[in-house]
Structure 1
Amino acid sequence: MIVTDELARRACADRGLKVPEEASPASILAVAETDVADLGSIVAAALAHSPAARTLLAALEAEQTVPETAVRDYYDRNQDRYLTPDALRRGVTPFDGATPQDIRPYDEVRDHITRELLTAAGRHAFFGWLDQSRAGVTYSHGHEHPGDPSHPDHEHRH
């Protein structure tokens, strides 16, 4: 987390991004369990504790674009996510007898899908940035990350 925060601070400075003041312990963000699962515990914790990491993630997300064809493709491939409440109550599935009335219209869910895909693209960009940034980091002997498989004793604990 400390390394991610420092790398994010440097990236924000390089990009001319203003990082908000340090968060007080009372204002540390809580991380939703789904975010921990999607992001991984280290990245989720770094985002919860590092205003610089959140600023960088927001900037990377803002740089993303999602073509309309990708949004439509996502909708077409994930019809189960857009069943109407009535269809769900009746036990309808998109694979077994769903009618067009059982699925929420594309225009109704398009903006939501676009936001989800932009979030995913921003996270993907953040992971790429983090992997590339960490590649040049050398930890002092004995202070390697406990789960780093490149370390000969990657199961040690601090």
Structure 2
Amino acid sequence: MSPAKVLTLAESDVADLGSIVAAALAHSPAARTLLAALEAEQTVPETAVRDYYARNHDRFLTPEALRRGVTPFDGVAPEDLLPYDEVREGISRELRKAAGRKAFFGWLDRARAGVTYAHGHEHPGDPSHPDHEHRH
């Protein structure tokens, strides 16, 4: 995805990102460029990738294991899991993406820290606003 293009975000992405971040990414090429740069600079240690694989067997069950009704709570045989080498790059990519988003959220929080909204133009979900539960 080119950071210069306008994004259309899926509802699930808006839920994951929050509406303020989603709006920034949907309308700001600079925000998308920053997010892409932050994601690219993240380093995910091999131990973190292996740990994720070990803790999330439910995500790596083979289609055959799923058809047989295997669950990760009943004990999983090695043959019921997709091989680590097959899923390693995808896990690493997802962890890098999550770390990049976390870095972006931190940057955005710091950037917004000094912003004072004009009365009546506060974001309804902004917890710093005394009436943050109101709806427009």
**TM-score after normalising by structure 1:** 0.77
Deviation sequence 1:1-47 (CA, Å, 0-9, x none): xxxxxxxxxxxxxxxxxx74xx5xxxx32212221121112211221
* Cα displacement (A) at 1:156: 5.0
Q: Which stretch of structure 1 is more off in the superposition, 95-104 or 57-66?
A: 95-104
Q: Give the match for residue 35 of structure 2.
A: 57
Aligned residues between the structures: 134
Q: Give the match for residue 122 of structure 1.
A: 100
The residue type equivalent to 1:122 in the other structure is G
Q: Which stretch of structure 1 is more off in the superposition, 45-54 or 81-90?
A: 45-54
- SS of the aligned residue for 2:35 comes to helix
Deviation sequence 1:55-99 (CA, Å, 0-9, x none): 010011111110000000000000110000011111111221421
Aligned-pair identity (%): 81
**Separation in 2 of the partners of 1:100 and 1:123?**
33
RMSD over aligned Cα atoms: 1.8
Q: Give the match for residue 45 of structure 1.
A: 23
Q: Give the match for residue 75 of structure 1.
A: 53
Q: Give the match for residue 86 of structure 1.
A: 64
Structure 2, unmatched stretches of 5+, are none
Structure 1, unmatched stretches of 5+, are 1-18
Q: Give the match for residue 116 of structure 2.
A: 138
Which residue of 105, 113, 133 maps to 2:83?
105
- SS of the aligned residue for 1:64 comes to coil
Deviation sequence 1:96-153 (CA, Å, 0-9, x none): 1421111011111000000000000000000000111100112223322233333334
**TM-score after normalising by structure 2:** 0.88
The residue type equivalent to 1:71 in the other structure is V
